[in-house]
Amino acid sequence: MAESFKYAGKKGNGGELRQSASDGYPTMTTAQGCPVSDDQNSLKVGERGPGLMEDQVLREKLFHFDHERIPERVVHARGYGAHGYFETYDSLEELTCADIFKRKGEKTPVFARFSTVAGNKGSPDLARDVRGFAVKFYTQEGNWDLVGNNIPVFFIQDAMKFPDLVHSAKAEPDRGFPQAQTAHDNFWDFVSLSPESMHMVMWAMSDRAIPRSLRFMEGFGVHTFKFINDEGEEKYVKFHWKPKGGMQSVVWNEALKLNGADPDFHRRDMWESIGNGDFPEWELGVQVFDQQFADEFEFDVFDATKLIPEEQVPVKIVGRMVLNRVVDNFFAETEQVAFCTQNIVPGLDFTPDPLLQGRNFSYLDTQTKRLGGPNFTQIPVNAPKCPMRHFQQDGHMAMQNPKGRVNYEPNSWSASENNPRECPAHGFKSSSEQMSGDKLRYRSDTFADHYSQARQFYLSQTEVEQGHIQSAYVFELSKVEHLPIRERLVSHLLNIDETLANKVAKGLGLQEMPDPAEAAMPTRKDLPVSDALSILKNAPNTFKVRKLGILVSDGFDADIFESVVNALKSEGANFEIIAAQVGGAKCSKGKHFEADQVINGGPSVLYDAVLVLTTEEGAEKLAAIAEAKDFVSDAYAHMKYIGFTAQAKPLFKAAGLDDKADDGWIDLAKISGEAFIESLRNLRFWQR
């Protein structure tokens, strides 16, 4: 039995237990450094009298508490970040003079933040939503922020529409709900009146919007940027992050239950993976192309609602990112990190993408608002790790001001660290291009095809993935109260794929099929399938860094358990033990194992596969526990592999699964642990 906790301190005059510096603890001080004699009681007149205004310790403590919240981000409020490094595989000097890409094998510090878009800071991790994927590179020539998403396209083409998009996706203002979901009238009203959104909505209704882990999703820079080399030669570039662990998502019913079982599922997964040494890794890839390709490509490369299929421009892998350190303080780093698309370095430049142009203004503006002023760049997580020399000074929360009398230029004072000058040879230079034209508010005709790539994406999915998209549309639109909005969206789907539109209409019970929406350009039906757009076509074929849930009872088979655990270790996978009580269970050899989860707190949705390892008596006891029945029935419903032995059958019978066995059920009495793990590499038994 654990020893009772004993408090070593002394009782104060109010009876509270207290410890002091005399017990070996460091001395508490105010924010000004003044030692504090009593942090439990405010200054009063007499023992029971009114408080005194002069109590500077109380005033400072309450003042800071009153101001310890900063405005949350308007979008991407719920995020999680980690530190790591980016390693350059080979020099890219022929493409760009960006310092980060000059030296093979060089490691550059990074901070990455992943987020949902629509929900507030307290929303659950597994909402159906776009995921932010932002990386701050602390290069030797300044910070480069690659601020993207886990989807390569966006809802809108021009930043003018961004406030309307976000307003429509957020909770409806008259009622304050729904939170962290787009299944409501305002969102679908907006997108059904914005045909340019149809490609992005297709991605949002796919499994890309409910990733199994932040570690198992792709990232994209979304926009087209420019590479510029030392000779001034320019190429266009699009950025891709490829997860080394492969892509993986959950199914919708699983996402709903995960939000109930563990609303911090993605955060916890990232924290635990780094703590276990299973460092998340992505490889950075680039699609590089010239002006001729841009001119001949079917769509406008400056249109953020379009992508370039990898089959047309292959992704060249140029380096890897490894996240190997969690933050020391969530607020100071993850909450205060400020990403701005305008933060680029020599060797990179912007393009006329109208969404990117607007983001360059908006991000700087919003960070200044959130973090209190222009000096947010001096917060450690935002500060460059290379020297900073400039004449900017003062302002709210200024921490680093130049020393000496010089705070302007040009000046005639002597050269020093605090008297910098511009450098035409190595400083940032914008690309040179001739531009002319009238001032006008206009959307280029080259942006007018809103359906062709949406169709290409849908047809590139497997039959299973297409079924998930159909179900997602039905679920979301079933929450829309106004019939005309549902009908309008289906009219757009008719321009994408008639089969998809009919299945969604049937799922919604529409009495009449609407006419296809009026299209600015007819849908192209000659675009080939792109296998790179599918998750399941790019399955990782590994169980590495995944997790097996092992449900046990007293007397469980020790040999099978040992065989499976050894195979998991060889694979680089993890496991947790779930039991009827937190005390755990004894195996058949008498060894006691603590439980990682009790059955009512460790549902199967937390795991990538399950193993039920019980005695017949233990299975009968579990059969009387509702959560144990849910454990196996959910695993079955979510197409997970189920390991078992014959002794577990009473539990399966109680869950109504006694006649449901298929090839996704693995009898551990008949195969080795290694063979079991080999099956788990498929991740799901989709044939079910």
Residue span(s) of the chain under CATH 3.40.50.880 come to: 541-680
CA distance 583 to 240: 46
The pLDDT score that the predictor gives to residue 222 is 98
Residue span(s) of the chain under CATH 1.20.1370.60 come to: 159-171+181-210+453-540
The pLDDT score that the predictor gives to residue 9 is 62
The pLDDT score that the predictor gives to residue 3 is 41
What global pTM score does this model have?
A: 0.93
| Nearest by Cα to 561 from 541, 591, 540 | 591
Neighbours of 469 (CB within 10 A): 23
The domain 541-680 is classified under which CATH number: 2.80.10.50, 3.40.190.150, 3.40.50.880, 3.40.50.2300?
3.40.50.880
- Provide CB contacts within 8 A for 95, sequence distance 6+: 101, 227, 229, 235, 237, 288
Buried b (16+ CB within 10 A) or exposed e, 623-656: beeebbbbbbbbbbbbbbbbbbbebbbbbbebbe
Strand, coil or helix: what is 557?
coil
| Nearest by Cα to 104 from 92, 94, 90 | 90
CA distance 586 to 554: 5
Can you name the CATH fold of 79-150+214-237+251-378? Catalase HpII,  Chain A, domain 1 (2.40.180)
The pLDDT score that the predictor gives to residue 620 is 97
The domain 159-171+181-210+453-540 is classified under which CATH number: 1.20.1370.60, 1.10.10.60, 3.40.50.2300, 1.25.10.10?
1.20.1370.60
Q: Which residue numbers are catalytic? A: 76, 149
**pLDDT mean values, one per 10 residues, the chain (688 residues):** 49 72 85 88 89 88 85 95 98 96 97 97 97 97 96 96 94 94 97 97 98 98 97 96 98 97 98 97 98 97 98 98 98 96 94 93 89 91 90 85 84 85 84 82 92 98 98 98 98 98 98 96 98 97 98 97 98 97 95 96 97 97 97 98 97 95 96 97 97
Q: What is the DSSP letter of 431?
A: P
The pLDDT score that the predictor gives to residue 396 is 87
The pLDDT score that the predictor gives to residue 129 is 98
Residue span(s) of the chain under CATH 2.40.180.10 come to: 79-150+214-237+251-378
Tens of pLDDT along 76-121? 999 999 999 999 999 999 999 999 999 999 999 999 999 999 999 9
Buried b (16+ CB within 10 A) or exposed e, 339-374: bbbebbbbbbbbbebbbbbbbbebbbebbbebbeeb
Residue span(s) of the chain under CATH 4.10.91.20 come to: 7-68
CA distance 376 to 403: 20
The pLDDT score that the predictor gives to residue 8 is 55
Architecture of domain 7-68: Irregular (4.10)
- Provide CB contacts within 8 A for 390, sequence distance 6+: 402, 420
